[in-house]
Amino acid sequence: MERVVLVTGASGGVGLALCQRLLEEDGRIHLCIACRNEQKSEATRDLLLATHPAAQVSTVEVDLGNLASILRAARELRCRKLLHMLTTAEGIMTQTDRLNGDGLQEVFATNLFGHFMLVRQLQSLLCGNEKPSRLIWTSSSNARESAFSLSDYQHAKGQESYSSSKYATDLTSVVLNRKFNGQGLYSSVVCPGLVMSNMTYGILPVFLWKLLMPIMWLIRFVAKTYTLTPYNGAEAHVWLFKQKPEYLDSLVKYHSCTSGLGKCYVEPRKMDVDEEIAEKFYQKLLELEEQTLEKYHDLLD
């Protein structure tokens, strides 16, 4: 059976680096890159084929902050009968938030709920296969229980929407394992470390980053999660890609790390998650899914 990999946020940063590294690891995979618009998808595909001309690379257009876009992409993927691995490689690294067109908090929708909906829509493809399917979620070391509340799980009232959404990601992964491991679907969580990407550069002016970079390279001798480059940040994703998911610990987050001399490695760390809260949160996600799908009947099978 052909091994198929779907990578979201594939047009830049860790997502693009992950695509490149996966093709280097196994040129026989069918790589499906997901981007927000067709031009980005095609440009990314051309870039990958320039270095791997024999690779199988297809594209799908999806905006994970837009429910209609997610449903259309899921329907297209079901028609293609694609999918063995999903990795969330793009988020919103900001504490500011707003409502999106679906009436959802934008950071929550883009970092978690959009991916959750995509998984739910592709559940028939992910479960019950001859070989295990896997989900790889990009979380963060900034995923903190103190930023998350079941009563405000979209984080409409606080100022830590990013941290809340990433903790919600950890909770979701834990529950998915409990419910679907028996059907051959396995979920893992990674942290890419501190990566310098377009999103990171948007936080401060470029000239400030240039001044700080020598210091950051020095800090890496004591802070191993300063991966700095997208290539290094994708280390945990690539490592997981090569593992048998049924032997992994569902309560562990896998961190991309880099030594002061530039050696990449993966460090597993136990996640601080309450499994009872995870189950309650999953039920809230299902309720929200039911509510939001009511206005999209025409996009459902």
Residues labelled as active-site residues: 162
In terms of Cβ atoms closer than 10 Å to its own Cβ (0-12, 13-18, 19+), residue 171 is buried
Look up tokens 């390279």; give the residue.
217
Q: How many CB atoms lie within 10 A of CB 251?
A: 16
Q: Which residues pair with 268 in a beta bridge?
A: 254
Query: Which residue pairs from 37-41 have beta carbons closer than 8 angstroms and sit at least 24 positions apart in sequence?
Result: 37/61, 40/11, 41/10, 41/11
β-bridge pairing 252-258 and 264-270? antiparallel
Residues 162, 96: Cα–Cα separation, whole Å: 9
| Bridge partner list, 264 | 258
Which residues are within 8 A (CB) of 46 and not within 5 positions of it... i.e. 6 or more apart?
none
Residue pair 22/32 in contact by the 8 Å Cβ criterion: no
